[in-house]
Amino acid sequence: MAKFSAIIKSLRIERGITQEQLAALLKVSRSTIGMYETGSREPDFETLEAIADIFNVDMDYLMGRSTVERKDPVAATPIPAGFQPLPKRDRIPRVGQIACGTPILAEENVEAYDEVPSDWHADFTLLCQGDSMEPKIKDGDVVAIHSQPMVENGEVAAVLIDGEATLKRVFLFDDHIELRAENPTFPTILRIGEDMNTITIEGKAVGLCRKL
């Protein structure tokens, strides 16, 4: 049987409720919900009853003593004013340092996984390092990429330059390509003629996740 920590996390995600929303419903801190989900802390009986009511499940199911939730639907789960359920999400690979000559999504290039909204249609993520794309994209942002070999001029894209993945605003012309940083203190990367072949467009930036 599953443990309480795994069950509450699974229920929360299935119902589209964030840790912050559940904390508000239970009148506890978000970190307390985090501890419930990691198993480092367990709620008292009164709180367990409140959790069972929120998710409309029996206590035995919540505590892992039964595999039967409850017949009643959960559509009426209360959400505090000002909150919305999380959208459907996809788990996609985060690409780290690129192994020379290997596809960007090769196993050796994947260093972690991130969950992003499904309607972004993202295929992988990149961790932005440095401030070349500020203020639009900041150091530490996780940027979601939709794989595609071309982008419109002026769009932000993930590109490979000499085996290294980077984010830049792309401008493609008949005889040269320009990769421009958002931060004006960084020089434009320019490739002319045959040197354009040293740059590969891997995809378009479709969203980002940022720590508060």
What are the residue numbers of the active site?
132, 168
Task: Classify residue 133 as left (phi > 0), alpha (psi -120 to 50) or beta.
Answer: alpha
d(CA 93, CA 45): 39
Q: Are 198 and 161 in contact (CB under 8 A)?
A: yes
The bridge status of strand 156-161 relative to strand 164-172 is antiparallel
How many CB atoms sit inside 10 A of residue 141's CB? 19
How far is the C-alpha of 106 from the C-alpha of 116, rounded, in Å?
Answer: 20
